[in-house]
Copies of this chain bind each other. A is one copy, B any other.
Amino acid sequence: MSERIIITLGRQFGSGGREIGKRVAKELGIAFYDKELLTRAAKESGISEELFQSNDEKPTNSLLYSLAMSNFSGEMPLNHRIFLAQFDVIKKIAKEESCVIVGRCADYALRDYRNVANVFVHADMEYRLDRAINLYGLPEKSARGIILRTDKQRANYYNFYTNKKWGSVDSYDFAIDSGSVGVDNTVALIKDFALIRAGRK
C-alpha cells in the first residue's frame, strides 16, 4: 500500500495542464517535472540543454528531415537521441520517486510500470483562448494559431513516438475538461484519481 504515486499528464495548450499538474504535485508533496526534465536529461546525456529546449516535443516530420538531422553520418538523428535520453530519464525518475511528469510521452515511457495514472487535461477553444491571452499574455491576433500549431506539434510528436493517439480517450486512464469545472476542482479530481490508482485511497 505504499505504492509510489506516478502521474503522467498530457495537455492541450491553454488548458492549464501545466499549472494543474504543478498544483497536484505540490498538494501531494511529490516531485514535478516539466521543463525540469530537459535539464536533467541534458545533464545525464551530455547533450547540451539548448538542444533539448529546441527539440522539445517537436515531431520528427519525415524521413528526409531525419536524414538531414543525422547529417548522413550514419549516427542516429539528434532528435531521436534526445527523445531516447528523455525516455531514460523518465524511467529513472519514476523508479526513484513519486512524481508528476508533464508531456514528453511519459505515459508511453512508463507503459510497463504498475499503477501509473495517465491523465489528460483539455478544454474548449474559448476557454483556452481566454487563458492564452489573459494569463499567458499571447497577442489576441495570433493566440488561436499558436494554440492549434502547438497542439498539432504535440500530437505529431506523440503519435510518432508511441503506438497511441494523442487526444484519444483510449490513450489515457483519465481525461478531464478543465474548463467544465475549473482549475481547483480539476486538481482535486486528479488527486483523487491518482491516489486511488496508487492504492492509497
Which residues of A are interface residues toward B (Cβ below 8 A)?
Answer: 117, 120, 122, 124, 167-170, 172-177, 180-181, 185, 189, 192-193, 196-197
A171 (CB) vs chain B CBs: closest residue? B169
**CB proximity of A130 to chain B, nearest CB, Å:** 17
Q: Do B181 and A193 have beta carbons less than 8 Å apart?
A: yes
Q: Is the CB of B176 within 8 A of A122?
A: no
Q: Which residues of B contact A181 (CB under 8 A)?
A: 173, 193, 196-197
What distance in Å separates the Cβ of A167 from its nearest Cβ neighbour in chain B? 5
What distance in Å separates the Cβ of A193 from its nearest Cβ neighbour in chain B? 6
Residues of chain B within 8 A of A173, CB atoms compared: 176-177, 180-181
Are A170 and B170 interface neighbours, CB within 8 A? no
Measured in the bound complex, the distance between the Cα atoms of B180 and A169 in whole Å is 13
A175 contacts across to B, CB distance below 8 A: 169, 172, 174-176
**Which chain B residues lie closer than 8 Å to A196 at the CB level?**
181, 185, 189
**7 A-B contacts (beta carbon < 8 Å):** A122-B169, A124-B170, A169-B175, A174-B180, A176-B193, A181-B193, A185-B196
**Complex interface: chain B residues within 8 A of A172 (CB):** 169, 175, 177
Residues A120 and B193 in contact in the complex (CB < 8 Å), given A174-B175, A174-B176: no
B-chain residues with CB within 8 Å of residue A180 when the two chains form the complex = 117, 173-174, 197
Closest chain B CB from A79 CB (angstroms) = 26
Alpha-carbon separation in the docked complex, A82 to B67 (Å):
56
Report the minimum CB–CB distance from A54 to chain B (whole Å). 29
Complex Cα distance, B51 from A77, in Å, reads: 59
Q: How far is the CA of A185 from the CA of B189 in the complex (A)?
A: 12
User: What B residues does A120 contact at CB under 8 A?
Assistant: 169
| B residues less than 8 Å from A174 (CB atoms) | 175-177, 180
Whole-angstrom CA separation of A44 from B192 in the bound complex:
42
